[in-house]
Amino acid sequence: MQWKKVAADRSALSHKVGYALRNPGRIPGYLKRAGRDTWLRLRHPDHISYYRAVMRHDIADGPEAAVGSTTHERWLALGQMQFDYLVSHGLKPPDRMLDIGCGNLRAGWRFIDYLDPGNYYGIDISPDILIAAEETLARQGLQAKLPHLAPVRDLRFAFLPDAHFRVVHAHSVFSHSPLEVIDECLAHVGRILAADGWFDFTFDRTEGKEHHVLREDFYYRTGTLTALAEKHGLKARFMSDWERLPHGQSKIRATHA
């Protein structure tokens, strides 16, 4: 959809100058973030460690802001959108679900409430955001649902069993990941995915040059990610019905070939 601005190259100098002229009040914040990110990259050369440090800094402004929600109402709405979409596509209470990058359970608490006890597994590279997830869990009174929450160092899923999850979900994870991190995930997710399962992931889509902004936001062509999934024995398709929803990212679904 046009409002997703899939032709823009946000890394281009012309785009940055134009954006700054249209939004002069955001220049100080951008410069501050650029300096902060440069310092963090020097201290944490690998991307997972770097982005873990980004989350540690961002969570100081509140866990909902750290996962990209500017207001509590938006936090609730985005979680509801993710939940409704998966349920409309066949998620059932007996299904086991892995939520990659579960954050502070923006959507996760709804999945936990819906699924049978013990069927929700949430992982995140940020221990800080998982503490916020525990607070969300307690606030919603969902302790009896026995969800699994675990910090991870990578996306190899080595501690999880084979063919265990019917639904694997990664919302706003690949939009913050360089291609080597996405490749690692796609190389290993097939092992833990049930024979009839599916893996949904969102991404920032571009139809032009692939690029990143501050190594925090990454923009990919659809074909790049579907080809990467197919390299690892997965069948991937663009989810056009997601495009009709009010969300800036696009979605791909991967299944066993």
pLDDT digits (tens, 9 = 90+) for 20-49: 778 888 788 888 888 988 888 899 989 999
Q: What is the pLDDT of residues 238-249, one digit of tens each?
A: 999 999 999 999
* Beta carbons within 10 angstroms of residue 29's beta carbon: 10
Question: Is the pLDDT confidence value at 1 over 60?
Answer: no
CATH number, residue 96: 3.40.50.150
Note the pLDDT of residue 2. Answer: 42
Amino acid identity, residue 168? V
Please name every residue paired with 213 in a beta bridge, in sequence order, or none if there are none: 217
pLDDT digits 0-9 by tens, 47-95? 999 999 999 998 988 888 888 888 999 999 999 999 999 999 999 999 9
Number of domains composing the chain:
1
Average pLDDT over residues 138-145: 98
Element at 76 (helix H, strand E): helix 72-88
Cite the beta strand spans of the chain per DSSP E: 97-100, 120-124, 148-151, 165-170, 193-205, 211-213, 217-220, 234-238, 250-256
Per-residue pLDDT of 104-124, as tens digits, reads 999 999 999 999 999 999 999
DSSP 132-165: HHHHHHHHTT-GGG--EEEE-SSS--TTS-TT-E
Residue 74 belongs to domain spanning: 2-256
pTM: 0.91
A 10 A CB-CB count for 21 gives 9
Render pLDDT for 199-221 as a digit per residue (tens, 0 to 9). 999 999 999 999 998 888 999 99
Q: What pLDDT does residue 118 have?
A: 98
The whole-number pLDDT of residue 66 equals 83
